[in-house]
Structures are given as structure tokens and as C-alpha cells.
Amino acid sequence: MQGLSSHQGASVDASAAKSAGLVILGKLEPGFEKVLTPEALSFVEQLVRAHGATRERLLAQRQVRQQQLAGGAELDFLPETEAIRQGDWQVAPIPEDLQDRRVEITGPVDRKMVINALNSGASVFMADFEDSTAPTWTNLVNGQINLRDAVRRTIEFTNPVGKRYALKDEIATLFVRPRGWHLDEKHVLLDGKPIPASLLDFGLFFFHNAKQLLARSTGPYFYLPKLENHREARLWNDVFRTAQAALGIPYGTIRATVLLETLPAAFEMDEILYELRDHSAGLNCGRWDYIFSAIKELQGDDTYLLPNRDQVGMTRHFMRSYSLLAIKTCHRRGIHAIGGMAAQIPIKNDPAANDEAIDKVRQDKVREASDGHDGTWVAHPGLVQLARSCFDEQMPTPNQIDKRRDDVQIDRTDLLKVPTGTITEQGVRHNLDVGIRYMAAWLNGNGCVPLYNLMEDAATAEISRSQLWQWVHREGAKLDDGRPITQTLVRGIFNEVITAIRDELGAEHYLAGRYALAAKLIADIIFDERFTEFMTTVGYAHLT
């Protein structure tokens, strides 16, 4: 295929990688030619050449801002964009099939999951190439094939015992989440360098499916993860301009919801919506990554110390403040504010525990609906109807964008208020256990793992490991019994956790499941003097 080279090895000489097009290092398995066509790859190359340099510059600016924060700078609303915040503008009108988004389900892009999620009764399915998909080459390309087949309504799946899965007549509206700006795709090179993972995920899906979606009275809809400021939103808007022009698709066809999952982005909600105003589908409160981001961004602040992970929920002041501000901001601009993820999963073997989990979900969704959110997220099909009933009761209309929330007054102190609570030995132990188990699953190609009755993905695992780093490196951090949290203490608990996992699994499964490597990587991340920006970038070097 012209413009497509394939190398089966793990690496390739830089001089050999330079060509007129993309160089594919990943294995070209049967069926991959459906999406890795010369035309699609040429389109991806066009996006990378047009926007790759800007992406690199913006990532460098992230590091500069982090250094400034470490040097005593403070997060605040930008004085230079006050006119945008005060201006009387709105985003483009909402497409008909996006008016009602009361329940959204998310999950990885494997074939069975895509079918079940589209059939789940949710309003929206967000097919996720990011936090819930481990980015093996096979997962990524098969995910593109699965979505291509789903858009065309030809997707089917038969499990090993002969059960067949296919789409119903009524399915959820499809959104796609490409990987974040910070991630590279090591299996695809341009001029000898890995290309931005986000542009591969976006480009392949858009090229193959945009016109098909329009023909079916919907459109190419996306979720944009881990944006840190309005300049990064502007880059996505520029990518959308290039993509639509290249395929001859009307300007404004693409719609994108931005996930508010970084602390800096909370101070630039208006600005982000403004940059994407012709392509916006609103904002979503990505609560788990937001907690992780707060730890990362304020790593140099000795006063910012979070308690146990299970004590940091949406009712805490800094979390509720950012949720209310998102509602107020979105509704003022005429667009949806989508609530956060319920990570609980049904507990089949313990009715009492299941009732308790369901009650937590119900309280969370009732609060979101009564606050003014226009929809919410769930991680499991079994929670779709529960979430829907909560929103149906509070929101009889397709959305509640007319609920302006002018009563909400949020300032920087609200967004930065430190939650109080306790750090327990069990909290340390749980974070270590989750971190190791999740990293092992991720290294084996599974990015979405049920652990202790919660659906863990990269975002929730990032909380666990970042809290551990914070507790170990923050002078004065103590357990609730008064013991200082030292490296010696945590290493001792760490060894106990590893031993318990190995005893539970057996030595053979422990080694085959790459738990030893996972434990080493988590230990390196926790005990390194420097804060590791993303645990998945560390694991990616070991992902086969």
C-alpha cells in the first residue's frame, strides 16, 4: 500500500522510518486493512503535519506551568480572558439527537462491549480509546474495526459457548473518546517519530465514519480528555476545521464534549467552551481524573494533603464547587453539563452490600439531577435504569439547560479548598493493592478491571498511586493512629500486599500475569522523588 510500511520488529532504524508517509511498526493482522487504508493513513498524516508541532509546544507549556506552580505561582481565573467570561455569547445550537443525554455509559472498544453498551438503554455510549482501553496495537485497531462495523449496523459477536450478540433497532448515540494530547502512538511513525495518539484515534474514526453517521441522521461526536487549558481546546478546534475541510463536510458538523478532569481547566471553563463554540457539546465532570489532577498540580503545596480515597467524593466542597460551576457555565452558554461516573458495579453474591452500593449511586444521581446536570455517567449496564429513573424524576424535559443557577458563586478558594479526613493503614494498603492489580491487568491488555465492587480504570488507579506518592513525600503526613507515613512504613505494607496477591494467585499465575513487573513499576512511581506525570506512560514502554 502506498504510504504504508510495515515492520514486525519492536523498533526500526530512524533513517529507514523516513518515508513519504506513515510507517506502521505494528503487526498487520488479517482485517486490519479495513481501517488502515492508504487514504485513511494519508488523512492521519495530514492532521499530524498540520497540528503536531502545536501539540508539542502546548505539552512543553504544561511543564512550564508545573514548574511555576512549584515555584509558588497560584492557580486562578485568567485576567487576560475576563472579557470572554463576562461576554454574552453562546455555543452553536444543539443537534436534535443530542438534546437528551440523561444517561451515558462508557467503556472500552472491544466488540462485545460495544454491542452491549449500544444496546444498554443509555442515551449515549462513549467508546473509550483512553482510560478504559489498554493501548495495545491489537486493541486499538480492532477497536476502530468494531466502531466502523457498529456505525454500519453490521457488528456481531458470538462467544465461545455460541451466544450471539447483535445490535437492537434502538441504540445509544455514539461518542468516541480518543487518547489525550500527552500520549504518543509508538506503533506509527512519521519522519522517524511516534505520532500523537489522539490524532490517530480521531483521524481513523472520523475518516471512516463521519459521512456514514451523517447519512444516519447523527454525526461524528467526540469526548476530549485531559485538556488543561483553552489553548489545548483551540488546537482540537483547529483539528476539527482541518478534518471537515479535508472530507468536504460542513463546518460545525463535529460536536465534542470536553471532560473537566484537570484542575487548571476548572479555571477556564468559559474559555474552553468559547474556543469550541461552533463544535461544542458541553462539559463533563470527569471526577476521578480531577482528583488525581489536583494532587499532581499541587504537588509542591505542603498544605494540600488528601485523606483516604473513599473519603474524597462529590459532596466535598472543592468537588461540589467545580460541579456547580460547570452547570452554571454550561447553561449560561446554552449547552449541556454532564455529571460524573458511578464506578459501582452490581454485587450479585451479597444482597446487603449490593443494596448499599445501589443507594450510593441513587444519592449521587439525585444530587446531580437536582443540582441541574443534564445527564450522568455509569460504568455498568446494570445501573442504566437506576440512573435514568433518578433523572426522569428530577428532569421531565430532555435537558435542563434553562436552569441557569445564577445563585452559584464560586471563587478560587472554593475550587482549592483542602478536604479534611483521615489516612489509615487500610487506605494505604488498598491503594497499593489496587495500583498493582490494575497495572498488571493493563500490562496484559485490559484497561477496565472490576476490583472490590468498583470498575477501576486508569483514572481511578491514578488516584491510588498519586495519593501514595503524596503521603510518602509530604512531610508531616500521618496515619490516623499517629504513625508518620515514611518510605519504610509503606515499603513494609507494600511487601505484605505483594505477598498476599502472590499467595492468592499462586506463583505461576503471579509471574505469568506480570504482577512482579507491575509491582516494580508502582514502587518506582511511588518512591521516586519526582512526581510521575502519568502512570500509563511508564507502563506503555512495557506494553506489548
Active site residue 88: no
CB burial of 296-316 (b: ≥16 within 10 Å; e: otherwise) equals bbbbebeebbbbbbeebebeb
**Cell 464547587, residue located:** 321
Query: Three cell numbers at 74?
Result: 497560584
CA distance 456 to 445: 14
CA distance 343 to 346: 10
Q: Phi and psi dihedrals of 376, rounded to 5? A: -150, 170
Q: Which amino acid would we find at residue 470?
A: Q
**DSSP secondary structure code for residue 132 in this structure:** T
CB burial of 134-154 (b: ≥16 within 10 Å; e: otherwise) equals bbbbebbbbbbbbbbbbbeee
Question: Closest Cα partner for 228 from 180, 281, 299, 276?
Answer: 180
Question: Closest Cα partner for 155 from 215, 110, 206?
Answer: 110
Per annotation, catalytic residue among 110, 131, 371, 457: 457
Q: Coil, strand or helix: which one is 478?
A: strand
Per annotation, catalytic residue among 101, 111, 177, 277: 177
β-strand partners of 222:
176, 256
Q: Phi and psi dihedrals of 508, rounded to 5? A: -65, -45
Q: Coil, strand or helix: which one is 283?
A: strand
* Sequence-ordered list of residues with C-beta below 8 angstroms from that of 93, at least 6 positions apart, any chain: 334
Active site residue 177: yes
Query: Three cell numbers at 405?
Result: 443557577
CA distance 406 to 397: 20
Query: Three cell numbers at 474?
Result: 509530604
Q: Phi and psi dihedrals of 491, rounded to 5? A: -65, -35
**Cell 476539527, residue located:** 240
Active site residues: 177, 457
